[in-house]
Structure 1
Amino acid sequence: FSTIAWTQVPVERSGNKVVISGVKYYLHIVKKGETIYSISKAYGISSEELTRENPPALNGLKEGQSLRIPEKIVTTPPPSQSALLNQMARDESKFIYHRLQSGETIYFLSRTYSVSEHEIIQSNPGIDINKLPLGFEIAIPRKQFMNAKENFANQQTKAYYHKVIKGETMASIARQYGLSVRELRRENRDIRFPQVGDYLRIPGMKPTMEEEVVSVAADTVPFIQDEQVVYYEKPHEYTPVRSLSGSYDVAVLLPFYLWENSRRYEIDSSKSVKGKKIYMDINRSDDWIYPRSLGFVEMYEGILLAADTLRALGLDINIHVFDIKNDTIEAVRLIRSGKLDNMDLIIGPVHSGNLSIVSSYAGSRGIPVVSPVQLSNNLVLEYNPFLFMASSSLEVAQNAIARKMGDYYNSNIVLIHSSSDSTDQDISRFRNMILNELSYKMPFEEMRLRDMVFYSRSVFGNDSINRLAHTLSDRDKNVIIIASEDAPVMSESITDIHTLSRKFNLNVFGYPGMRYLDNLEHKICFDLGLMVYSPYWIDYTRQDVIQFNSDFMSKFLTQPSEMSYAWQGYDIAYYFLSGLAIHGRDFISHPEIHNPDLLHTEFDFRRKTNNDGFENQKLFLVRYSNNYELELINEEETSLLR
């Protein structure tokens, strides 16, 4: 990925001016190596302004060609960058000062000195990297120079890898190396449930030579240690949900914004008289709903339809609804009121702070709590054994993508991501997930995994596409992972990828958030064959889906969109209430025993330890096909875990 510094041919403004029809122009004579871009930058105008005044330039520039540039559009010359650098205090202990030579770019310097482009830019504040003259001294931060492969290889030498064999658990392996279970988990965050054949990283240690001696009395039976999570076999067929019995109280804690919805008028200040605004009360229409509550109203409507379905099968269901937003005072008041004490199931709240408060309280009373929407992370699950995350965190999608890279181990893999204090640690973990997966296929020195830090076009202009092109291989297959759910990163990156798709052999993967991006031109996704691990998949030809849409229309006079929370509300209520009715309390500690046919998802709940809550691991690999349809990949897949 190349950030061109335009050091090849310095362009000087012409001192010659002419007057044509009363308008003053600079008369610029093109020299060898000069381009439209470099000339326009020298005069502080855009390329479009230059070609508008000189249409023949659109066909290419020739040495000796004359260009006319209106004096009135030429901006004031910027201060000399050399002067800027001279004003900056030199610090030889922290920086190397490199004098630019012909043909050198910022990308070239980053590779030469093994530092990132971002670090070089930050080390030269106030410097426009698109206007660097030959001989310009640029500051390069000093560091222990090593490339990514060397860095990872050094990490490998500091750790010992243990291959898991049959019968081993996190607890037994940790004890073998004199570690706590938490220490072992911290070093292996990308392996949640070690299976036979997995490799666990043992930090800076060699295994003890002593063989572990376990004495078992003749009349005893094996026991399960606290740290070990045991799963029952998941049914291969759907669990039949037929005649049911029992009475259940369900609390629904969602942000309905009742007060905001109760205001049936708005103040219009768009008109003014003699410069003074006129404020008018305008009544809202009868069907108006406060925008932030709309999705959760639809989720509640889905819950109501699920309750109707289960009531028809024999259940007695009482739904208790509470308007809980992000204010923790509301949640605390509700708990103190005692209204949650006798609930059999709690759905919500949606904000992490309130969810933590409610789930801790409910857990003390053995009441399962379901988090119905995606959270930024899964930390709230720690020490909350009665909490269920129905929507997977981003970590689950990262694990899925990393495992999928095993199918592309011979490809050139490019990871596009932003860089900030809040994302760097997450990206580092994701990168190591991918490297760990590739290690099953090939030696480290043969792996090809490149990083490209995303910068907006406001920083690099049109050169951002050149940076991406430099990461790609024109001989081998390329896999690009857009590792961000920030709208600018997703939209700008996929547009650049689409531009390069005619020249390079590309496969493109995105985070689940790609399916929710509003300002994305979906034709680009179909042209690229974009693949996304999605939390849902709706088959509109299925009879139960058709019936749901029909019932929704009959009851609420509308139909839910594909991304509506109505589907999630229905599936959560149907899954948990039927599970409790069929399996009783065993369902809460072993949800895997229940496998009903749902509308838009499947639930595959797993947890790290018996003291933690459950997170749904199920995602669907969806591809935007070239026939402009979404298609499900590997439909027979039942779990993303090994």
Structure 2
Amino acid sequence: MGINMRKWILLLLIFIGGVINAQERTHHVEKGETLYSISRTYGVTIERLIESNPFLSEGLKEGQDLVIPASDVSRTRPSLPTIDTTRFDYHTVQAGETIYSLTREWGITYERLLELNPELSEGLKVNQKLKLPKGTLDETVGDVPAVKEGFIQHNVRRGETVYSLTKSIHWPAAELYEANPNLLEEGLKAGTMVWIPDNAVSRLYTKRDSLLGIEQVAIVDTTPNDSTEVEEEEDEPVSKYMVVRTGRDEDLTDLMEKYNVTFDELTRLNPELVGGTVQPNRNIIVPRPKADTASSPLLESLEGLDGMQLLSGQKIHIAVALPLYLEENDSLAMRYNMGEALPQVYSRSRFAFDFYSGLKLAIDTLLGYGLDVEIDIYDTRNDQVRVREIAREIRENKPDVVIGPLYSQNAETLARELEDTWIVSPLSRTINNSNTPKLVQAVTPMREEHLALAKWVNDSAKDANIIFVRRINDAEKVNIQHFMQYLEASETRTLSTLEMGEDLFSRSMVRNKMAAGRRDVFVILDSDPVLLTSFINSIASLNDSSATVLCTSRLLGNKTIEIEKLNKVDLYISDVEYVDYSSPNTNSFIARYREDMGTEPPRFAYHGYDVGMYFLPLFTLNKTYETDLWGGNQGIMKIHRFTQNDESVMVNSGVFLLHLENFRWTRIY
């Protein structure tokens, strides 16, 4: 081979090496990074990364140097969104804000916000700039809306105080704070604008400011002089609200229970609480307790409470509509009496009889407090034709409340037939009561379980690596989107998904989603038993204590997961049922049930007892059925904590968060 040929080959090799060096690079793994985030940064699949870095099959670790496949280096990091203030408004996300709180504040749907800001699918970030429809923020002057229905703006004068202002217009100070939440932090300052009721204009004179185009209000000096007859001073109007100061470590649940206020009303009065964070030593507005309900047993656990004496001499008329299958059970009882069969209950009525046994024990308890209970029993037979027949009888008898039916379709049918009657469906979680607000779903809906898990993430995993585990379907995508709306903005939290298609999960699939040097939190809202079993088996095999798993109560219904596998995982679940066997109330209930029934109380007997002990006093002491008096109580198995949603439907938000430790469930909250 000639010299020239050798030089040409050498130059060719140098050129090829230069091209390779120009295309192939390394990436130094920083704390918190995942294979998913790195693959997104460089536009390369996880499979290609593992192919170029075989050691990744054992997991990503902080400090590693990865080779980035050459063919994908041309892909660059996503460019920052351009700012176009002529077509859009922009908002910089603050710590503690959530997508839910922002959409409520701006009156914009989540879908529209996501359409303008696709990056929200990866979570809300502190200092992130959100694009909004033009005009969304134009309706405010500083932090004060330019229009507020039923109110007019007043320019605060020098020397004016909250007392002098509210006294002059005969308006309670707490309602001034409600209309002007900024006053709680900033106080009343001369030259600023505050809202006062437009019907206060009769006590004021008004003038038009042509520049601002708003009503400016000055207070007329009504101080009497010597020649003016002094009228008898009117009584100070009693406000339905009061201003209180938050304590250390208080959360929304504490405030709701302490002041007997619903979530919706609490956040309406104090919009800064929508995100779920309660700052200590801050002034907030809460409803003033009503004198006749201050000691109401609706606000606390009822068993053994002195306030239960309020029931003495009271009367309630209830109807119980359950699938009791009385004819079949009568037949079985007859055969037993004739020695032809063992003592048994017709199988299709088992849940109903268990529930009724607990309800009956609750009624016996309330009778002991002097409550007079009139009860009508109806056998629905789980048949909608029969339910319509029952509806006519119930309408004639006019009970205060109906307990039952058990199944959603029957409950919805009865509610349509009896629009003016309160109906409590005690066990179904699939009730559609959007058009029948007097139909109450006693069991907490699954959505509230999701919110309890989101609360845990906000409290305990602000900067974690969150991985949503799901099947590839639209329903689970919607659940995750809803969950993400309640996550507070974070500077460092990462979000991704681990999806199961036709193949089951493997150890490597799970490990590849885990972050280097960061806490990993896997969130499973999906109830698919195959997905749950496959994932738990895979993550348990990793023996990695840094990984936490959040699940709903659907996990406990899965019979294919071994308890030993669950115990290997740092597992939290949301649940609507939890029995504290160390509680005296629980032990008293069990002892009484054994004495009355000669057996251990089954699961649905606890439900029956809790439903009776909550709803019967509620409808006895609250004959006007005011929903703001519903409050909440901790039962033997369940929490009843009702709030009113945007459709005026009462929703139970009572959820437990449980942690599995050494094969035992421990209540976190």
Interval containing the TM-score (normalised by the shorter chain): 0.5 to 0.7
Cα shift at 1:257? 4.1
Contact 1:474–1:504 under 8 Å retained in 2: no
Cα shift at 1:590? 2.1
Contact 1:184–1:202 under 8 Å retained in 2: no
Contact 1:368–1:588 under 8 Å retained in 2: no
Match of 1:318 in 2: 374
Q: In the superposition, relative to structure 1, how do residues 317 and 237 fare at CA in structure 2: closer, same or farther (>3 Å)?
A: closer
Identify the match of residue 315 of structure 2 among 247, 250, 259.
Answer: 247
Distance 1:328 1:479 in 2: 45
1:217 matched to 2:196? The reply is: no
Match of 1:630 in 2: 665
Match of 1:88 in 2: none
Q: In the superposition, relative to structure 1, how do residues 486 and 315 fare at CA in structure 2: closer, same or farther (>3 Å)?
A: same
Match of 1:207 in 2: 137
Match of 1:615 in 2: 651
- Aligned pairs for 1:68-107 (under 5 A) are none
1:401 aligned counterpart, secondary structure: helix
Match of 1:427 in 2: 480
Cα shift at 1:511? 0.4
Cα shift at 1:604? 1.1
1:524 matched to 2:571? The reply is: no
Map Cα deviations across residues 338-373 of structure 1 (whole Å, 9 max, x no partner): 456511111122333332232344442xx3221212
Give the aligned residue type for 2:638.
Answer: T
2:506 aligned counterpart, secondary structure: helix
Identify the match of residue 411 of structure 1 among 437, 445, 464.
Answer: 464
Give the aligned residue type for 2:628.
Answer: H
Cα shift at 1:523? 2.6
1:486 matched to 2:532? The reply is: no
Cα shift at 1:508? 1.4
Map Cα deviations across residues 19-77 of structure 1 (whole Å, 9 max, x no partner): xxxxxxxxxxxxxxxxxxxxxxxxxxxxxxxxxxxxxxxxxxxxxxxxxxxxxxxxxxx
Match of 1:447 in 2: 493
Distance 2:382 2:76 in 1: 46
Distance 2:135 2:532 in 1: 41
- Aligned pairs for 1:88-167 (under 5 A) are none
1:599 matched to 2:636? The reply is: yes
1:523 aligned counterpart, secondary structure: helix
Identify the match of residue 356 of structure 2 among 295, 300, 306.
Answer: 300
Match of 1:280 in 2: none
Give the aligned residue type for 2:479.
Answer: D
Match of 2:177 in 1: none
Distance 1:188 1:318 in 2: 53
Match of 1:558 in 2: 599
Cα shift at 1:572? 0.9
Contact 1:482–1:493 under 8 Å retained in 2: no
Contact 2:437–2:649 under 8 Å retained in 1: yes
The unaligned stretches of length 5 or more in structure 2 are: 1-35, 48-74, 95-99, 115-128, 141-145, 153-197, 204-236, 242-263, 267-285, 334-338
Identify the match of residue 554 of structure 2 among 508, 513, 518.
Answer: 513
Map Cα deviations across residues 549-589 of structure 1 (whole Å, 9 max, x no partner): 1221122221124xx111111111111111233x3225542
Q: In the superposition, relative to structure 1, how do residues 302 and 162 fare at CA in structure 2: closer, same or farther (>3 Å)?
A: farther
Give the aligned residue type for 1:619.
Answer: V
Identify the match of residue 373 of structure 1 among 406, 427, 430.
Answer: 427
Distance 1:237 1:336 in 2: 36
Q: In the superposition, relative to structure 1, how do residues 596 and 506 fare at CA in structure 2: closer, same or farther (>3 Å)?
A: closer
Cα shift at 1:310? 0.6
Give the aligned residue type for 2:618.
Answer: G
Contact 1:162–1:201 under 8 Å retained in 2: no
Cα shift at 1:473? 2.5
Distance 1:317 1:382 in 2: 30
Contact 1:533–1:621 under 8 Å retained in 2: yes
Distance 1:114 1:351 in 2: 50
Match of 2:186 in 1: none
Distance 1:631 1:115 in 2: 41
Contact 1:255–1:324 under 8 Å retained in 2: yes
Distance 1:374 1:621 in 2: 21
Q: In the superposition, relative to structure 1, how do residues 471 and 374 fare at CA in structure 2: closer, same or farther (>3 Å)?
A: farther
Contact 1:472–1:504 under 8 Å retained in 2: no
Contact 1:374–1:392 under 8 Å retained in 2: no
1:585 matched to 2:623? The reply is: yes
Contact 1:438–1:447 under 8 Å retained in 2: no
Distance 2:132 2:322 in 1: 43
The unaligned stretches of length 5 or more in structure 1 are: 1-106, 118-144, 165-169, 190-198, 266-282, 635-642
Distance 2:79 2:312 in 1: 59
1:496 matched to 2:563? The reply is: no
Q: In the superposition, relative to structure 1, how do residues 591 and 163 fare at CA in structure 2: closer, same or farther (>3 Å)?
A: farther
**Structural RMSD (CA):** 4.6
Give the aligned residue type for 2:464.
Answer: S
Q: In the superposition, relative to structure 1, how do residues 527 and 202 fare at CA in structure 2: closer, same or farther (>3 Å)?
A: same
Contact 1:374–1:393 under 8 Å retained in 2: no
1:621 aligned counterpart, secondary structure: strand
Cα shift at 1:484? 1.8
Cα shift at 1:393? 0.9
Cα shift at 1:425? 2.4
Cα shift at 1:620? 1.2
Cα shift at 1:390? 1.7
Distance 2:45 2:475 in 1: 20
1:423 aligned counterpart, secondary structure: helix
Give the aligned residue type for 2:137.
Answer: P
Cα shift at 1:596? 5.0
Q: What is the TM-score of this pair, normalised by structure 1?
A: 0.59
Distance 2:328 2:549 in 1: 42
1:615 aligned counterpart, secondary structure: strand
Give the aligned residue type for 2:365.
Answer: T
Contact 1:163–1:200 under 8 Å retained in 2: yes
Q: In the superposition, relative to structure 1, how do residues 158 and 514 fare at CA in structure 2: closer, same or farther (>3 Å)?
A: farther
1:398 matched to 2:450? The reply is: yes
1:286 aligned counterpart, secondary structure: coil
How many residues are treated as equivalent by the alignment?
440
1:560 aligned counterpart, secondary structure: coil
Distance 1:291 1:328 in 2: 20
Cα shift at 1:113? 7.5
Match of 1:437 in 2: 487
Contact 1:264–1:284 under 8 Å retained in 2: no
Distance 2:361 2:375 in 1: 12
Match of 2:159 in 1: none
Give the aligned residue type for 2:308.
Answer: V
Match of 1:540 in 2: 581
Distance 1:358 1:147 in 2: 58
1:460 matched to 2:503? The reply is: yes
Match of 2:175 in 1: none
Q: In the superposition, relative to structure 1, how do residues 526 and 464 fare at CA in structure 2: closer, same or farther (>3 Å)?
A: closer
Q: What is the TM-score of this pair, normalised by structure 2?
A: 0.57
2:376 aligned counterpart, secondary structure: strand
Contact 2:468–2:480 under 8 Å retained in 1: no
Give the aligned residue type for 1:617.
Answer: S
Q: In the superposition, relative to structure 1, how do residues 420 and 256 fare at CA in structure 2: closer, same or farther (>3 Å)?
A: farther
Distance 2:400 2:590 in 1: 28
Give the aligned residue type for 1:302.
Answer: G
Distance 2:91 2:416 in 1: 37
2:541 aligned counterpart, secondary structure: helix
Give the aligned residue type for 1:346.
Answer: V
